Amino acid sequence: MESRAKGLAAALLIAAVALLTVFGSDSFGGRVEASPGGMAVMSIDMDPTGNTSTSVGTLEQCARINKNGVKDADEDVVDGLIIDVTASGIPAFNDNGTPSNTADDSGGIVGYQYTLNYPPAQFTVGGQEASTPSVNILAANAGSNVFNGSDSVPDDNSTTTWDSYAIDTADPAVSPPESGNGVLDRLTIYADASATAGQYVISLSNNVHIDASGAAFFPTSTNVSNIAVGINSLPTCGTLISSLGYYHPVTPARILDTRSGPGPIGAVGPGGEITVDVTGVGTVPANPWDVSSVVVNVTVTGGTANSFLTVYPSGVTRPLASNLNFVAGQTVPNLVTVKVGADGNVKVFNAAGQTHVIFDVVGWYGLPSGGSLFNALPPARILDTRSSPQGSPPGKLNAGSTMSVQATGVGGVPPLAFGVTAVVVNATVTETTVPSYLTVYPTDVTRPNASNLNFVGGQTVPNLVAVKVGASDGRVNVYNAAGSTHVIFDVVGWYGGASGDVFNPVTPARVLDTRTSPQGTPPGAVGNNSQITVDVTGVGSLPTAGVSAVVVNTTVTSPTAPSYLTVFPSDVSPPTASNLNFVAGQTVPNLVIVKTGADGNVKVYNAAGQVHVIFDAVGFFGPVP
């Protein structure tokens, strides 16, 4: 009988080296397995009481270390804690009636991986329990043979992360893969000698579940957890930090320009990649564990060949997905929301030729203090200089000129008094006369050295823009460098106020590709004056519930006529708005934030001709945990 070790171990070990990230193979990126086929959630529980290899109790989000050299009532060990990393909702193992043939097995859990993010100046991962049958789900069944490839303990604290990886190589006929709920790892966390009083966040990322088929699934993390540290007095947990998904808008700042600096200097070559520090720059906090994602306007310029750019977190395998697609000589921008690596960096990959790359940071997601919640809206037009509504002054925006645009109290965005801090608009230029660029920025700051859209004469170009509003007037400024152009704003959401949702970054996943699969409804290219329905919950790395809006890098390719695309909630009529504008034969990407319909779907409308559409999901908005 073939053992699971023969069928899976080699593949799993290779996958572990690649952080177990599994993607497809087409040129625009690949689809990962849908979350519903695997573990539902992976969590941190600060109190292991009641947790076993087959059950998980109520999750606790905070624990306390007194740090006084003795074991206090709230501690599990002297100046330390025992915590659990838990799994919930693992589907049952199925041998499909052929126990001697592992090739058609599915479900269960045979391996997992995660990264524990923590401040190494405060804590040390001092112990791990991963193969105890009564504690660990991977070892629960008789005959389990757990291989533990995790980082050593105690951790050397050289980075802000500790990586865990384990597989069960037992024969499935002897030890069927486990399912349901249970503890993955039981960890001991100690306060370091250098630890200072305060409340600190630990979190999970790069979560991966491998089932009996060898497929990789990417469960969400339901919470971040808190450790309160006190010195010579019993500490207490303050206000719990339950998410690193609060948005912090900033005045646009250039943090990378490979032409002259800042950041690495020199064009990115074919098949080459660069590492970019996105923390501690442009008013983004320096501590990477305080920042989950950054929002940057990425521009390529001076490209020598047709190519695409992929921006992704450091410390993970590069996904086969794209953020920008461009041809030789073209200057193209696209807004990118990218998860930050544990070292505070992101990677930039260029497929072909050479190109210069520019990053203008416009915001970051992280700690709740000073941050804002997101409120998604059906798209609404709040500026159209061709007709109305107009900016000030009205009409076409001329060379070297700036107009002021009301961004609060319009299009579903409440008045400034409701606490609006920023808006998200799909900005489009049209009837352009010469090569130029637009800069969108708050009215109460000096125009920054940054750009949001780059274009040439006669072009119609969109780009998603997240922009802080003026603190006193709720307006934004729009600057045009050269020639004249009409400008259109379609608002899709706003940040601020007492209500709203937090952002959850996910491993990039292909959730729509009308060329192959996954398909929309109806399948195939989107036809002339037609729309398709796309399921954006329970697919890729997106959960089945708790999703108010999704963030998808949307690409059109092989269009047969000049047209535009509108992405909108499934339960509203097509709005007067657009997300992408393109001509025949063009491949164009644009980041899209779209509210989901009550059924978890969105719709895609194409105005003319036929076009293929691709969605790569990079995150979602949902309720505060």
The alpha carbon of 234 is separated from its chain's Cα centroid by a whole number of angstroms, namely 37
Q: How far is the C-alpha of 142 from the C-alpha of 139, rounded, in Å? A: 8
Helices (H) and strands (E) in the chain, counts: 2, 36
Average pLDDT over the chain reads 89
Q: What is the mean pLDDT of residues 519-530?
A: 95
Look at residue 233 in the predicted model and tell me its pLDDT.
64
pLDDT at 16 over 90: no
Please tell me the least confidently modeled range out of 302-306, 515-519, 567-571: 515-519
Look at residue 241 in the predicted model and tell me its pLDDT.
85
DSSP 547-604: -SEEEEEEEEES-SSSEEEEEEETTSPPPS--SEEE-TT--EEEEEEEEPPTTSEEEE
Confidence band of 40 (pLDDT split at 50, 70, 90) = confident
Token pair of 256, please?
Answer: 């990378």
Q: What is the mean pLDDT of residues 602-610?
A: 97
Written out in words, the top-level CATH class of the domain with range 374-496 is mainly beta
Q: What is the 3-state secondary structure (H, E, C) of 217-268?
A: ECCEECCCEEEEECCCCCCCCCCCCCCCCEEEEEEEEEEEECCCCCCCCCCE
Please tell me the least confidently modeled range out of 219-233, 543-557, 578-592: 219-233
Q: How far is the C-alpha of 428 from the C-alpha of 355, rounded, in Å? A: 24
The burial class, CB within 10 Å (0-12 / 13-18 / 19+), for 415 is exposed
Query: Is 275:338 a contact under the CB 8 Å cutoff?
Result: no
Residue with tokens 């509203």: 572
Q: Which of 367, 82, 49, 63 is nearest to 229 (CA)?
A: 63
Please tell me the least confidently modeled range out of 6-20, 264-278, 304-318, 488-502: 6-20
Look at residue 418 in the predicted model and tell me its pLDDT.
95
Look at residue 14 in the predicted model and tell me its pLDDT.
36
Q: How far is the C-alpha of 502 from the C-alpha of 548, rounded, in Å? A: 10
Q: How far is the C-alpha of 509 from the C-alpha of 107, rounded, in Å? A: 20
pLDDT at 7 over 80: no
The alpha carbon of 467 is separated from its chain's Cα centroid by a whole number of angstroms, namely 19
Q: Using one digit for the tens of pLDDT, what is the confidence trace for 64-116?
A: 998 889 998 889 999 999 999 999 999 999 999 888 888 889 999 999 999 89
The model carries a pTM of 0.82
Q: What residues form DSSP beta bridges with 345?
A: 277
- Output Rg (C-alpha) for the chain, integer angstroms: 25
Q: What is the mean pLDDT of residues 232-251?
A: 82
Please tell me the least confidently modeled range out of 121-135, 150-164, 350-364, 368-382: 150-164
The burial class, CB within 10 Å (0-12 / 13-18 / 19+), for 80 is buried
The dotted CATH code for 243-370 is 2.60.120
Q: Using one digit for the tens of pLDDT, what is the confidence trace for 338-351?
A: 989 878 999 999 99
Three-class SS of residue 395? coil
Sheet holding 461-468, edge to edge: 374-384, 486-496, 420-430, 461-468
Confidence band of 232 (pLDDT split at 50, 70, 90) = low
Of residues 625 and 95, more confidently modeled: 95
Whether the link from the prior residue into 393 is cis, omega within 30° of 0, is: yes
Q: What is the mean pLDDT of residues 570-577?
A: 93
Q: What is the DSSP letter of 271?
A: T
Q: How far is the C-alpha of 110 from the C-alpha of 88, rounded, in Å? A: 15
Sheet holding 246-257, edge to edge: 246-257, 356-366, 291-301, 332-339
Of residues 100 and 1, more confidently modeled: 100
Q: How far is the C-alpha of 165 from the C-alpha of 163, rounded, in Å? A: 7
The dotted CATH code for 504-625 is 2.60.120
Q: What residues form DSSP beta bridges with 335?
A: 297
Q: How far is the C-alpha of 607 from the C-alpha of 619, rounded, in Å? A: 27
Q: What residues form DSSP beta bridges with 295?
A: 337, 363
Q: Using one digit for the tens of pLDDT, what is the confidence trace for 27-36?
A: 222 223 334 4
Residue with tokens 């041998």: 95
Confidence band of 209 (pLDDT split at 50, 70, 90) = very high
Measuring CA to CA, how many Å separate 313 from each of 88, 361, 524?
26, 15, 32
Report which secondary-structure segment, H or E, holds 17: helix 10-17
Q: Using one digit for the tens of pLDDT, what is the confidence trace for 415-436?
A: 999 999 999 999 999 999 999 9
Q: Which of 547, 504, 624, 499 is nearest to 242 (CA)?
A: 624
Buried/exposed 101-112: b ≥16 CB within 10 Å, e otherwise: ebeebbbbbbbb
Confidence band of 247 (pLDDT split at 50, 70, 90) = very high
- The pLDDT > 70 percentage for the chain reads 93
User: Does this chain's domain 4-229 share its CATH topology with 243-370?
Assistant: no
Token pair of 193, please?
Answer: 């000698």
Percent composition of the chain: helix, strand, coil (DSSP 3-state, to 5): 5, 45, 50
Look at residue 540 in the predicted model and tell me its pLDDT.
78
Q: What is the dihedral of CA 476, 478, 479, 484, to 10 degrees?
A: -160
Q: How far is the C-alpha of 272 from the C-alpha of 528, rounded, in Å? A: 39
Q: What is the mean pLDDT of residues 350-376?
A: 95
Sheet holding 123-129, edge to edge: 123-129, 180-191, 80-90, 41-45, 220-221
Q: Where are the domains of the chain?
A: 4-229, 243-370, 374-496, 504-625
Measuring CA to CA, how many Å separate 180 from each of 5, 41, 175, 218?
22, 11, 15, 16
Q: What is the dihedral of CA 168, 171, 219, 88, to 10 degrees?
A: -90
Of residues 89 and 3, more confidently modeled: 89
pLDDT at 180 over 50: yes
Please tell me the least confidently modeled range out of 211-220, 255-264, 497-506: 211-220
Q: Which of 97, 106, 132 is nearest to 210 (CA)?
A: 106
Q: What is the mean pLDDT of residues 216-231?
A: 83
Q: What is the mean pLDDT of residues 530-548?
A: 89
The dotted CATH code for 4-229 is 2.60.40.680
Look at residue 102 in the predicted model and tell me its pLDDT.
84
Look at residue 234 in the predicted model and tell me its pLDDT.
58
